[in-house]
Amino acid sequence: MIYSNRPMVAASADCLTAFGGDPAQCPAIVDRLQRMFPESNALNDRALQETCAVLPLDSVVVKDTDAVWRDRRSWVWKERPVYSNAYVRIYRCGRPTETARQY
C-alpha cells in the first residue's frame, strides 16, 4: 500500500492521512469507495463509472478477497478489466478499456 510508489486515494478507512493528505476529506472518499465494495448485496452496476467520475482515479484494483469479487452479479464481472488473472482485476477510469489481458 504505502510502499508502492504510486499515489492512492485511500488504502484504509482513515485514508492513511498520517502519511499526508487532508483527514477532513477522508469520510466522503471512503463512503464513495464503500459503494463500490459493499459487504452486503448492495449491488450497483454503475459503481465503477460513478466512482471514476467523482474521484481522481486512473485505475481501480479488485482482489479475490474483496466481497464484491465473490458475487458474479456485481460490476466486477460486468465491466471489462484491462488486466485480470485468478486473483486480481484492474479497471481503468476515464477512457475506454482495451481488450482484457488474462494471465
Taking only the tens place, the pLDDT of each residue in 42-84 is: 678 889 999 999 988 899 999 999 989 998 989 999 999 999 9
- 99 pLDDT more than 70: no
pTM: 0.75
Orientation of helix 47-54 relative to helix 26-36, angle to 10°: 160
Mean pLDDT across the chain? 80
Cβ–Cβ under 8 Å, residues 74 and 84: no
